[in-house]
Structures are given as C-alpha cells and as structure tokens.
Structure 1
Amino acid sequence: MSMDRDAFFIGNQWVKPSSDRTFKLINASTGEAIARVPEAIEADVDAAVAAARDAFDNSPWPRMKASERAAVMERFMGALAARGGDIAKAVSLQNGMPIALSEQLEGGFPVGILQYYAGLAAGENAGPDVRPSQMGKETLVERNPVGVVAAIVPWNFPVTLAINKIAPAMAAGCTVVIKPSPGTVLDSYLVAEAALEAGVPAGVLNWVAADRAVGAYLVSHPGIDKVAFTGSTAAGRKIGATCGELLRPVTLELGGKSAAIVLEDADLGSFLAGIPMASMLNNGQACYNGTRILAPASRYGEVVDAIAGMLGTLTVGDAMDAATHVGPMASEAHRERVEGYIAKGKSEARLVAGGGRPRNMNRGWFVEPTLFADVANSDTIAQEEIFGPVLSVISYANDADAVRIANDSDFGLGGSVWSSDAERALSVARQVESGTVGVNGYMPSLGAPFGGIKGSGLGREFGPEAVGAYQQLKSIYVMG
C-alpha cells in the first residue's frame, strides 16, 4: 500500500497544496524511496496561519476554561496512544531510529506529555491571582494565551519534539502551525489524524511541511505571535535574530556537546550500561548526548578499553529490526557530515574503535559506532556537535579539572556525572554549566524544565514552566 500523501492538515481539513512541489521520503536503512508528500509554499503557510489565527481570534478555544481544554487533550491523548505502533514504525522508517527505542520515545512518550499537560490544565486554579498593591486597592495578575504559535520541529525525535510544543500551547489556549522536517513527515499525518478523531477544534492544530526558506517565511509571518524551535544552533541564531527584530517571543532548544564525567570512584559497569541512553541515544542523533567522555588520568586506559569493548557488543542494523541497537544516520547528507568529522578526528586523535561503514551493509546510511582517545578538549571533535555515534575520551587530573573541561564549551544543554558517591557526584553536577545534568544516568523528566544555556538555546520545555512560555502576563491595577 502506498504511503504517499497529497494534502496538508489545515483547519481540520485535508487541503490540497498550492503547487505540485513534493518531498521524497527515504528509508534510512535501505536508501529506497518510500513516499512522496506535498511541500508547502508561502501560500500554504498563509492558509495554515489564517486558520490558526481565526481559531484564536474567533473560536471559543482560548476562552474556554482550562479544564475544558484538558478534556480535549485527554481525548487527543487516547487517539494518539491508539496510533503509537504506527507512529513508531513511520519514524524508524524515515530517520533510522531503532524501532525498540522509537516505540518508547515516539510511540509512547508523547502520550505521557499530553497526559502531563492535560493534568496541569485540569488542576489549574480558576480563581483570580490577587496581589497587594502599594499605591491602590489591589493588583489582579492575568495569564492569557500568547496567540498563534509557529512550531518548527527537527527530524531526530519528530513526534516527541512536536508534542513538547503542542501540549503546553494547548494547555495555555494557543493555536499552532507545525512545520515538520522534510525528512520526517509521515508521522505528522498520523498525529493530525489523531487530533481530528479526538475533536480538537478546527484551526487549533495545523501541519504544513516546508523547506528552510518557507520555514523562515513562517517565522517572520505577521500572523504569528510566538515561535518555538528545536534544531541546530546555527538555525536557532537566525530564528532568534528574526524574532529579536520583530520583538516576537521565541523558545530555542538547540544543539549540545555535553560532557559525561566519570569520577575516579565510578563503577564502570554502571557507566557502560548508561552509555546507550546518556551518550549514544538514537544512533548518536540526540542533542543532549554526552559525547565528550571525561575520564580520570589514573583510570584513563581502563575507561577507554571498557568503552571500546562495550561498543563492540552493539548490533548495527536495520532500524525496523527489534534487535538493532544502532541504526543508520537519518540521511545520506547527514552521514557525509558525520564521516567528515570522523576524518577530522583521525587527524586530531587516536582512533580506537569504528571509524568506517559496517561491512556487508551496502544499503542505507550506516556509520560504525566510533571511539577516539587521546582527545584534547580543544580538538574539533570535542568542540563541535557531530550528531552521530562518535565518542571522544578526554583525560582530566582531578574533579576541579573535570569541571573546567566540561565547562570549556560553547554549549550547555546536557551532561552527566558518574560516581559511587552520590553526594560527590551531586557536588560536581552543581558546578557544571548546563541547563540539565544527570547523576549516574541521564533522562529528562516531564515535571522539570529542560533546555540549555549558551549556544544550546533560550527558554525551557517540560515542567509547569513550559506553559508560561505560551502565556502573556497582564497586571490590572485596581486603585479604588
């Protein structure tokens, strides 16, 4: 059965595109074309923004009680859960995420995000926020939805990162235009179908796939009130510049080059078990991966050998195979980028494991899990985001030196500290300059803010704090 699609989801309708331009979607594991989907031009963006604008300005949605919106979100959650398996398969086909991981993080986790924010909305205190006034009777503080949101989503976790924006925006009463990455579009149709089945009101959620130029048009569109973006730091800087010029609120969740600090007393077995989630998640294609491994000089050789041995146990294969640990890169162009960094690493450091393409795998965009040793923190492979299954091990002298090296980065998104002494690890974690840090593991928590500092972005997702990013505050001074 063909997976081709021929329409956009705008105003709860399947709308024919304004041109005959299409994106060709590729199976990352085989390199074969699997579908064609329409590519939006400016007129399609205009239609999607108009639908979202009309829903915000004229429908009951932003003026509903938060508990009423929560009921809609709960229905959406159920419809999304029913499609979890199909969503996971669509994502793994397109971007190469191992299906066992996709079932958890793309098929299941977005349901939990919706549930969390529906719960926040359902429990919202409907009473007025009344504060003392020094110059009058009292001050009333209102939190109102910011308006129409442009949500721009990357290819590495296309569903989770879309719902990260959709759920708090819905809880706040906003309407949304979602632009998925051209490489991962099929999943967005499944999410749109779930929204339609759940009775999400027309215009609240709209999907149009587009390239970067049309994405830039969406960011600067006069009908947009806020932008929420996840992607590269380079693209984030451009979006931030546009929003700064327009004085338009923006949330930027960008790249990282996080450090995994292995303290001298760490249990290597626990650390090795944590690497797949903390340092190599999604074939290395996760923004917060701790790809700089900081090892104590006294145990450096032991750490390098242990990681090399662990990488050798990982099964590299088709993303649709449940036994696969490491799938392909998301595209041929991205594999070339990763291989360029590996070539640079061979000139800077010592290649210990991997470094090439797996033998007997002549189709798809595969790269071997790769390990470099004798890496200086100033090396290119230690400073720039590779976004692939490439780890660099850097030696440090003591805890203070480890913190210095970890903080010597343009990024500050994730990181982890590993130790048999939890208090010692926590002390080191508090000194790491990063928006998030894990102790003896790493996994973002729905109830706590997630985001970066420095080149890793502005603003936060997750936690109740995320809802505030989709609200405007108004103070009403009651003088008498």
Structure 2
Amino acid sequence: MAEAPAVHGTLFIGGRWETPAGTDTIDVVSPHDGTLVGRVPHASPQDVDRAVAAAREAFDHGPWPRLPLAERLAVLERIQALMLERKDEFARVISAQNGSPASFSAVNQAAAAALQYGLVAAAAREFPFEERREGLRQPLLVLREPVGVVAAVVPWNVPQFVTAAKLAPALAAGCTVVLKPSPETPLDAYLLAEVCEAAGLPEGVLSVLPADRETSAHLVAHPDVDKVSFTGSVAAGRQVMASAAQHLARVTLELGGKSAGIVLPDADLPSTVAGLAAGSLLNNGQACVALTRILLPASRYEEFAAALTAVFGGMRVGDPLDPETQIGPLVSKRQQQRNLDYIRIGQEEGAKLLVGGGVPAGLEAGAYVQPTLFGEVTNGMRIAREEIFGPVVCLIRYEDEDEAVRIANDSDFGLSGAVFTARTEEGVAHGVEVARRIRTGTYTVNGFTIDLRGPFGGYKNSGVGREFGTEGLGEYLEHKTVALPATV
C-alpha cells in the first residue's frame, strides 16, 4: 500500500516553522508512476528576505559564531546521530522524489550525508583557526573567521549529500545558512530541518526555502548574503557568479562533468568492467562525476565493448523503492525527454547504438530510460561533449596512451575521472602518472571513488572552489592578519 503524500504548510525560517508569505505550492510527483508524493509551500522573495534577515541578525548579534568551537561541533555531532537514526526515512523519501535506487540512497545519500557532519567536526578540531607567524618586523596572529551569511543552493540528484557538503562546514565555521532545496526534492529538506531543530541549532542559524529559479535568483543576489555555495548546471552557475559579483559575495560552484574513464591495455577485464559500470551508471547516471566517456585501447576495444554491452543490458530497471532495482527512473519526464533526445542525436551523428536507447517495456508511466551504450563515438560528437545526465555512456577508441590523455583532456569540463591499469604496484604507479596528466579535480586509479576526506571540485567549467576535507571548511572562512607589538 502506497504511503500518503507528505503535505507541509509551513516554512522553516530562522529556526521557526512560519506561515509562508504567499499561497503558491510545489507538488512533488513520483518519477516512477507520476503519483503525488508530497506538497510544500513555494517560498517567495518575501520569504527569502525574512530568512536572510534572520540569518544576518543571528550572525551579527547571535550566539552561534561566538560559541566555543567545541559547542558548535557538538551540535554537528548531534545532527549526525539524529540523521543516522532516521536514515531509512531519509533514503525512502529521497528515492520516492528523484528515482534513486533504494540501495544507492541508503548508502550514498542518507548515510554518507550524515557521515559528513562527523567528519567535518573531526577536521575542525584540528583546524588552525588561529596561527602565530613571524612577520618581517613583528609577530603576526593569523585568524580564520566565519565568512557570514551563506546561501546554499542544492540540486535534486543527491540532495542530502550535497546539502551536508555545504551545511556541515558552514556551521562548523560559525556561519548562518539559508538553504534552498530543489523544487523536485524538497521533502528530505523538511526532515533535515526537523533534525537540526532537535539538535539545538540556535534561532536564526538555518532556514529552508524550497523554490524555483526566480526565488533562487533573489537569494543569491541578496546584498546581505556574504557567500553563495551552488551546485548545478554550468549555465546556472554562470548566472549565480554574475549575480553574486554585484555585491562581491564569495562563491563556491560545483558544476557539470563529462568525465573520462581510461582503460589501459593491461587492465583486468572483469574488475575494470565492474568499475566502469559502477562509475558510469551510479544514481541512474544522474551524477556530475559519472564516467560517461569510456576510452578503450584499439587492441582491446571489441572485448571491452562486448563485456560492457552485456552488463548494461543486464541491469535490473524498475521501481526505485524495490531493493533489487539497479536503475530507477530519471527525476522527471523532462529529464527523460532530454536523454531520449540525446540518444537520437547520437544516432544521427553516426555513433553505434550497442544496447538500450529507449523506454523499458511496462514502465511507460514513469520517467525511465534504458541503460544505453554507444560505440564508435568520436570525441567531437555532442554526446561526447555535452552533459546528458542519465544512463547514456559513450565508448571512444584510442591508439596510444598519449591520444587517450589528449581525448580525456579535450573537454570543457574537469570534474572527475579514472584510469584502469594492471592491479600491481607497477600498474598503480603507472596509473598515478596518467592521473598527473589529466586536468580534473578528482581521479581514481583502478576504481571509482569520491573520498570525503579529500578536496572535491572541478577544473575548467566544472566549477570554482572545493568541498570536503579541510579545504571545504576553508571555503567558509575569511583570513584576518593581526600585527602584534614586537615586544609581545
């Protein structure tokens, strides 16, 4: 029996559940069958003004930035504990909204999001918020202080994972935050608001405002916002940067990707195919880090193409809430059509459709697309250059390693990537040398990993700034130098 839709009538503004300024609402529909999953208020620009004012007051005059670090970090750890208590609920809600397979949501959305609060707390305990240095004429005290009011704009594909990447370091630094979840996935943000309220965040520190682009634009352009942290498309990221520049707000932008997985001639077939499938189809292919260009050596092209075709064709596609599902629906019918359009474009460009290419039989009511693999792709084709954001993957043939590196780097993006080589000490060393040659922010040798202790972000059009690790914490801090008397 289906669950009743989750209907919310209030907004979380400055730590209080408030009546929205307007009457517009957002209907959240299932990408599996189009039924209503929930309904929330649509935040208006007036709601943004209230939330930013609360955040400004809490930062300028409230206790949060002035609390001892240990007290702030204790709140983060309570958020982690409370999220873990409700992780199954978080995972179920996320999958119902955006179609992520339940197995993916449980590990990579709910649990990984909760983990970030604990990891940030641990990193902050060791972070040099104050540092003494010897200046040219006198001692210096270098202070790292919170940047201020943060606008955090998150996407629909991994909403809690991305939220934690912004909210955890911002809170640890002492910032106040206005969180703007995507209109496709606002329901999990309500769960987070409940968790943060229970964890003891002071008044004004957090607001949660589900809304569309118009309200988002008002938020990032607000003169009382000191920093914008945005994850989304390149086009939207450019608009965010231009808008924030009007009042010189700091920005972190995590944008798109078209990452390459390079298979070297000495790569092991079974483990490489498994790694490539995991890295290219995670979250139904709706991941900015996905390995959507697979570069195969000419000497082994047919062998790997056949193995990957079999794996793609054998994926279990269906209801995202079924624990056996490997590929769920895309987030919306609009996103489904975008993928189908690119599949048509790939065929018109001359790429060879190896498997997939349509809507699975019996699942026409949802936003489903079959796992699709194109062979004989050249790097100049649109399907090799533009981010499709779905289970559509390209195989590109190369003749030697220099050509593989050139193809991998021949992209407007630079977010992620991987190289697969012999699983030996010498092979790994060779893989590291390849990694040094690729212009991308995250890279894996013989696998596909995003590690929460390392900095994450992009080169080129893939973004500005870094998340995770101490580098991610540093994005929410300003540096102040205090010159001390020479006699001190």
TM range (shorter): over 0.9
CA deviation after TM superposition for structure 1 residue 341, in Å: 0.5
- TM-fit CA distance, 1:468: 0.8
For the 8 Å contact 2:317–2:370, the answer to whether it is kept is: yes
1:244 Cα deviation after fit: 2.6
Tell me the distance in 1 between the aligned counterparts of 2:393 and 2:123: 39
SS class of match (1:69)? helix
> 1:338 and 2:339 equivalent?
yes
**Cα 1:144–1:48, aligned 2, differ >3 Å: closer, same or farther?**
same
User: Residue in 1 aligned with 2:68?
Assistant: 65
For residues 417-466 of structure 1, give each alpha carbon's deviation from its aligned partner in whole angstroms, at most 9, with x where no partner exists: 00112111111111111011111111111111000010100000001011
Give the distance between the partners of 2:440 and 2:339, measured in 1 at CA: 24
Change in CA separation of 1:330 and 1:24 when aligned onto 2, cut-off 3 Å: same
1:265-286: per-residue Cα shift (whole Å, max 9, x none)?
Answer: 1111011211343111100000
Give the whole-Å Cα distance in 2 for the aligned partners of 1:175 and 1:370.
43
Residues 199-255 of structure 1: per-residue CA shift (max 9 Å, x gap) = 111111110011101101100101100000000011001111122332210000000
The answer to whether structure 1 residue 351 and structure 2 residue 357 are counterparts is no
Instruction: Establish whether residue 366 from structure 1 lines up as the match of residue 368 from structure 2.
Output: yes
**2:110 equivalent in structure 1:** 107
Alignment of 1:371-386 (within 5 A): 371-386=373-388
SS of 1:111's equivalent?
Answer: helix
Q: Distance in 2 between the 1:360 and 1:450 partners?
A: 39
Does 1:14 find its partner at 2:22? no
User: For residue 306 of structure 1, what is the aligned residue in structure 2?
Assistant: 307
Equivalent of 1:433 in 421, 431, 439: 439
Is contact 2:25–2:39 with CA below 8 Å preserved after alignment? yes
Cα distance between partner residues in 2 of 1:270 and 1:305: 15
What is the TM-score when the length of structure 2 is the normalising length?
A: 0.96
Question: Matches of 1:272 and 1:125 in 2, distance apart?
Answer: 43
Aligned counterpart in structure 1 of residue 408 of structure 2, from 390, 406, 421: 406
> 2:5 touches 2:39 (CA, 8 Å); kept in 1?
no
* Alpha-carbon distance between aligned partners in 2 of 1:397 and 1:103, rounded to the nearest angstrom: 41
| SS across alignment from 2:414 | coil
Residue 422 (1) aligns with residue 428 (2): yes
Deviation for aligned residue 1:123 = 3.8
Counterpart residue number, 1:471: 477
CA–CA separation in structure 2 for the residues paired with 1:244 and 1:271: 44
| TM-superposed deviation, 1:476 | 1.2
Determine if contact 1:277/1:443 at 8 Å carries over to the other structure: no
Contact 2:273/2:304 (<8 A) preserved? no
Q: What is the alpha-carbon distance in structure 1 between the residues aligned to residue 404 and residue 432 of structure 2?
A: 14
Partner residue in 2 for 1:251: 252
Secondary structure of 1:280's aligned partner? helix
Is 2:200 the partner of 1:204? Answer: no
**Does the 8 A contact of 1:376 with 1:394 survive in 2?**
yes
Q: Deviations over 1:12-64 (max 9, x none)?
A: 21111111101110111111122211001111001111111111111111011
Q: CA deviation at 1:478?
A: 2.2
Question: Contact (CA 8 Å) 1:292, 1:393: kept in 2 or not?
Answer: yes
Task: State the 1:72 CA deviation.
Answer: 1.1
Match of 2:34 among 28, 31, 34: 31
**1:84 corresponds to 2:95:** no
Q: How many residues align?
A: 478
Mapped contact 1:76–1:200 kept (Cα < 8 A): no
SS in 2 for 1:366: coil
Q: Which runs of 4+ in 1 moved over 6 A?
A: none
The answer to whether 1:275 aligns with 2:281 is: no
Paired with 1:246 and 1:7, the residues of 2 have a C-alpha distance of 30
1:319 partner SS: coil
Q: Which amino acid aligns with 1:20?
A: T
| Structure 2: unaligned runs, 5 residues or longer | none
- Percent identity among equivalent residues? 47
Query: How do 1:293-332 residues align onto structure 2 when only pairs under 5 Å count?
Result: 293-332=294-333
The answer (yes or no) to whether the contact 1:69–1:121 under 8 Å persists in 2 is: no
Unpaired stretches in structure 1, ≥5 consecutive residues = none
> 2:314 is matched by which residue type in structure 1?
T
Change (3 A) 1:402 1:455: same
Equivalents in 2 of 1:367, 1:260: separation in Å? 22
What is the RMSD computed on CA atoms of the aligned residues?
1.1
Do the aligned residues in 2 keep the contact of 1:449 with 1:461 (CA within 8 Å)?
Answer: yes
2:263–2:421 contact (8 Å) kept in structure 1? yes
- TM-score normalised to the size of structure 1? 0.98
Partner residue, 1:459: 465
Contact 2:123/2:469 (CA < 8 Å) preserved in 1? Answer: no
SS in 2 for 1:265: coil
